[in-house]
């Protein structure tokens, strides 16, 4: 990964309390896993931003190295990598996601 791409990803993650690197957008997810994440965050009623990895090959490949996570979507909350669709579903079902989101939005 180039230093420029690392800096770009660092800035994106730091500038957004809740950020999802996904296929498509929150208005039109382009895969089922990305759609799962969008549905959960919409149900939680929290503001969040998305980056469409299909529109930027450099980000699509770079984010996997940045997070050391091989799949998309990837969710970042308060600058920290949380995980992908399965992890977000698990946190949501356990009731733990609400707390994580409240802490992030309060800071």
Q: Where are the domains of the chain?
A: 3-100
What value does the CA radius of gyration of the chain take, rounded to a whole number of Å?
13
Per-residue pLDDT reduced to its tens digit, 16-64 = 999 999 999 999 999 999 999 999 999 999 999 999 999 999 999 999 9
- In this predicted structure, the answer to whether residue 1 has a pLDDT above a threshold of 90 is no
Cβ–Cβ < 8 Å for 84, 42: no
* pLDDT at res. 3: 94
pLDDT at 107 over 90: no
Position 28 scores a pLDDT of 95
CATH, range 3-100: 3.40.30.10
Give the rounded percent of residues in the chain with a pLDDT score beyond 90. 95
């Amino acid at each position: 990964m180039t230093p420029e791409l690392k800096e770009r990803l660092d800035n994106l993650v730091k500038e957004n309390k809740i950020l999802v690197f996904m296929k498509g957008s929150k208005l039109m997810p382009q895969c089922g896993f990305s759609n799962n994440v969008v549905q959960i965050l919409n149900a939680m009623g929290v503001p969040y931003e998305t980056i469409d990895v299909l529109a930027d090959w450099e980000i699509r490949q770079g984010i996997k190295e940045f997070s050391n996570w091989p799949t998309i979507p990837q969710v970042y909350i308060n600058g920290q990598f949380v995980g992908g669709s399965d992890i977000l579903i698990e946190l949501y079902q356990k009731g733990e996601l609400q707390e994580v989101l409240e802490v992030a939005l309060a800071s």
